[in-house]
Chains A and B, each alone.
Chain A
Amino acid sequence: MVEVTLWGSLSAVAGGKSRHDIEAKDIRELFRKLAEQYPGIEPWIDRGIAVAIDGTIYRDTWSKELPPGAEIFLLPRLAGG
């Protein structure tokens, strides 16, 4: 079980809650379970969501494991220059 924090706009499509306890071993499972629980989140996943695990931001490595007790924070996937 990991505790996941969603940024403001995303929490609006996740029942208005910013913190969620999810049973997920990696980013892929986290996204799947969030989408199962809150279908409105799916278009956001398609557009791109970055996942900060203990402060390190992952954008594409959906196989990245979510260590128990780690701080998991979802962020918008941003553009660079």
Chain B
Amino acid sequence: MNFDPRYSGRNFSSVGTRPIRPDGIDKVTGRARYGADFNMAGQLVGRILRSPHAHAVIKKIDTSKAEKLAGVKAVITAKDLPDLTDGDAAMYDILDNSMARTKALYDGHAVAAVAAIDARIARQALKLIEVDYEVLPHITDVDEAAQHHAPLINDQIFTEGLEEKPAKPSNVTKRTQFGHGDVHKGFAQADFIVERSFKTEQTHQGYIEPHACVASVNPDGTADLWVCTQGHFVYRQHCAQLLGLEASKLRVTSSEIGGGFGGKTHVWAEPVALALSRKAGRPVKLVMTRDEVFRASGPTSATSIDVKIGARKDGTITAAEATLRYSCGPYAGSWAEIGAMTAFACYNLENVKTVGYEVLVNRPKTAAYRAPSAPMAAFAVESAVDELAHELGMNAVDFRIKNAAQEGTRASYGPVYGPIGIGPTLEAVKNHPHMKAPLKANQGRGMACGFWFNFGGQTCTDLNIGMDGSVSLAVGTVDVGGSRASLSLVAAEELGIDYSQVKAIVADTSSLGYNDMTDGSRGTFSSSMATISAARNAIKILRDRAAQMWDIPVDDVVWEKGHAIAKGEKYGNLSPLSLKDIAAKSGTTGGPIAGHSELVADGAGVSFATHICDIEVDPETGATRVIRYTVVQDAGKAVHPTYVEGQYQGGAAQGIGWALNEEYIYGKDGRLQNAGFLDYRIPVCSDLPMIDTQILEIPNPNHPYGVRGVGETSIVPPLAAIANAVSNAVGVRMTHIPMSPPRILAALDAEREG
């Protein structure tokens, strides 16, 4: 990589301003095209038949009646998606999740699919498919599934990470451990110890746009896929591998995206749509219903976490320990591992130990959800930290400041931290007016910290300068939070031109080199780095073209504020040439002017946030209302502050829903009982106060502008901040998320009954 990513400390003209986003008008007028808005000539309607059983052997599938129905053009089962994964266990799980092969592993697992000329016939055809199931015992609770006597979901899985290889298979797929020091010694030094167990229920990301795609496979082996995704290059790889296509012959175009939050980071129904199209010989549109999104896409884990923290009377934490059990759905994952790594990452701990257990359950395959696994771990740890501060008689913020990690601290997950921002967020919260505002009866205030890693990754951009001097920027990271605006600002900044001269698009997979997906808070961090690199490459060409126009050596041409300038007194009579001047002559100075960049954007830097929440609880009904909410987070450099604030507010809003209401509810039959927004209650505008934000800008040393990822960390503190607020409001420690009215009333009753 011939690009120096180090922070340069420059002054900015465009970066840090708040222009209107380029995709804004299309979105508010309804012209923006989302996953379901695309159509192809002759397209069919795809529908998926899903298992009504939580756990069942698929003994036989008879599709003959469906195939004979007039208007049905293709019916597929797992036989039409043969295993081409070549020992890649993760891809095999994705394949099996797309279409069950031998067993249905959860209520909603796909078992067959049809393509028909319209939706009515497709639905009729599904009813004609006969599936012979042998129903098996099921398990949906994370704690029960981890027990030895629990029904086994996969008898080929033996727990990894144990000192001795187990003799019997288990639903616990892996044990992981992190930490340092000696927790037994540390607890022996403690004057106060808090030890509690916590639970969080499974939640869905709750993106408004369901999964949707249009697939078209041609007889010559080429194919097109229009799809709502967080990463069209990743979808191309997955689909090409699963269907035996050449990646370069499968062109994937990402639509606008109505939210993903991690849930659109791997394929679900897309291989099914491609397989249907291949069999039918016609394009197939496949759109999940909301019911299908809940039952058969990828919610986050349900968790069960034990925490123990000890401290001396002076407020120094002497030891901290946590055991974390995370549900993975029916396929192995590493969700508890991430929880174990992030749980105590905010603190400077001499003795710390975390152990994670990955647990299989008969629920949908767990997927990433915005800072995956960290919010639940933070809920448990930050609740215990708050309780310990109360026992010590210390202010909760001061207690955290005293124990906060700083540069040189050994992180609980292993390495020693470089410069980090937890301290500044805590100081900002301590001094925030919100912390001093009076509270009324039945109101409580809570605060909490959160940590997330942030990632970079493979990135490729093209920057093309038109002959009129306008600039088109093609990026490969899907715009989920306003990145086309941010990246246009970056291109304008680097080239020294106005934001309005730049038009950014998300290019399809045939137009640009590979890009990792928009996850890990990497979209703006990574693509801005590649955009800076591409712009600098274009500037080299612009200087060369100016040198030709002036007939002087290129080394005598510099680029300043959007102009080529001939440096030196001997060129005193040469007026600067603008980008537009040079572009206008490009046809005779060497042809099109463009800058390209391909790089790996590493060094994203870890991220911290601290939140404050005020809540009012009705002690008679258990109903809650968030009165005031403040987010403080380090952005490194806020490229477009409005969209950084939007990320902070969005994370808080999602966290409020998760903390107070959202949960997957399963019946004893293993079926999901609330697969819709009427019964699975996400927050709406009227539930939320204006969420205040404070952006801290502590530059990231590994980005030219100091940028850090901002998309995920904001969802880490809310569960804990809200739980601390509710606990302070009602005087009872809340240990089970969501804190729905019945659960709050039950906690109050339990307290009254002693």
Contacts and interface: CB of A to CB of B under 8 A. Distances in A.
A61 to B, nearest CB: 4
A60 B415 CA distance: 18
A59 B604 CA distance: 10
B608 to A, nearest CB: 13
A56 B603 contact: yes
Interface string A61-81: 101100000010101101111
B453 A57 contact: yes
Given A7-B178, A56-B605, A60-B458, A79 B334 contact: yes
A76 B176 CA distance: 10
A11 B368 CA distance: 26
A58 interface: yes
Contact of A76 (B261, B334, B457): B334
Contacts of B453: 57, 78, 80
A75 B337 CA distance: 11
A61 B161 contact: no
B415 A75 contact: yes
Given A8-B178, A55-B415, A56-B702, A76 B337 contact: yes
Contact of A9 (B161, B418, B454, B602): B161
A52 interface: yes
Contact of A61 (B1, B416, B521, B522): B1
A12 B712 CA distance: 32
B455 A59 contact: yes
Given A56-B605, A59-B602, A60-B456, A80 B519 contact: yes
Interface in A1-15: 5, 7-9, 12
B160 interface: yes
A31 B453 CA distance: 22
Contact of B418 (A5, A12, A54, A76): A54
A76 B341 CA distance: 10
Most A CB contacts (10 A, CB to CB) among B262, B265, B418 go to: B418
A75 B520 contact: no
Interface stretch (B369-377, B461-469, B538-546): B369-377
Interface string A7-38: 11100100000000000000000000000000
B357 interface: no
A63 B1 contact: yes
Nearest to B371: A81
The majority secondary structure among interface residues of chain A is: loop
Interface in B372-424: 372, 411, 413-418
Nearest to A79: B368
Contacts of B603: 56-58
B334 A5 contact: no
B338 interface: yes
Given A54-B418, A60-B458, A81 B369 contact: yes
A60 B602 contact: yes
Contacts of B372: 79-81
A79 B602 contact: no
B602 A81 contact: no
Of the four ranges (under 10, 10 to 19, 20 to 34, 35 or more), the interface on chain A belongs to: 20 to 34
Contacts of B605: 56
Contacts, number: 103
B675 interface: no
A81 B265 contact: yes
B414 A52 contact: yes
Contacts of A58: 602-603
B177 interface: yes
Contacts of B712: 80-81
Given A7-B178, A54-B416, A79 B457 contact: no
Most B CB contacts (10 A, CB to CB) among A54, A58, A81 go to: A81
B262 A80 contact: yes
Contacts of A81: 205, 261-262, 265, 368-372, 519-520, 712
B691 interface: no
Contacts of B554: none
Contacts of A54: 415-416, 418
A14 B712 CA distance: 34
Contacts of B176: 7-9, 76
A71 B370 contact: no
Contact of B414 (A12, A56, A73, A80): A73
Contacts of A55: 411, 415-418
Nearest to A53: B415
Most A CB contacts (10 A, CB to CB) among B334, B415, B416 go to: B415
A80 B368 contact: yes
A5 B457 CA distance: 23
Contacts of B600: 60-61
A55 to B, nearest CB: 4
A79 B338 contact: yes
Contacts of B371: 80-81
B157 to A, nearest CB: 16
Contacts of B521: 80
Contacts of B604: 57
Contacts of A7: 176, 178, 413-414
A29 B9 CA distance: 33
B300 to A, nearest CB: 9
Contacts of A60: 456-458, 600, 602
B519 A8 contact: no
B237 to A, nearest CB: 15
Contacts of B415: 52, 54-55, 57, 71, 73, 75
Contacts of A9: 160-161, 174, 176-177
A8 B455 CA distance: 22
B543 to A, nearest CB: 28
B368 A59 contact: no
A59 to B, nearest CB: 6
B286 to A, nearest CB: 24
B414 A75 contact: yes
A58 B601 CA distance: 9
A71 B407 CA distance: 14
User: Which 10 residue pairs of A and B lie closest in terms of their CB atoms, listed nearest first?
Assistant: A80-B520, A81-B262, A52-B415, A55-B418, A73-B415, A81-B368, A80-B519, A81-B370, A60-B600, A61-B602
25 contacts: A7-B413, A8-B161, A8-B176, A9-B177, A52-B415, A55-B411, A55-B418, A59-B456, A59-B602, A60-B600, A61-B1, A71-B415, A73-B415, A75-B414, A76-B176, A78-B334, A78-B341, A78-B453, A78-B520, A79-B334, A80-B712, A81-B262, A81-B370, A81-B371, A81-B712
Interface of A: 5, 7-9, 12, 52, 54-61, 63-64, 71, 73, 75-76, 78-81
Interface of B: 1, 160-161, 174, 176-178, 205, 261-262, 265, 334, 337-338, 341, 368-372, 411, 413-418, 453-458, 519-522, 600, 602-606, 702, 712
Given A7-B176, A55-B417, A76-B341, 19 more contacts: A7-B413, A9-B174, A54-B416, A56-B602, A57-B415, A57-B453, A59-B602, A60-B456, A75-B414, A76-B337, A78-B455, A78-B520, A79-B519, A79-B520, A80-B519, A80-B522, A81-B261, A81-B262, A81-B370
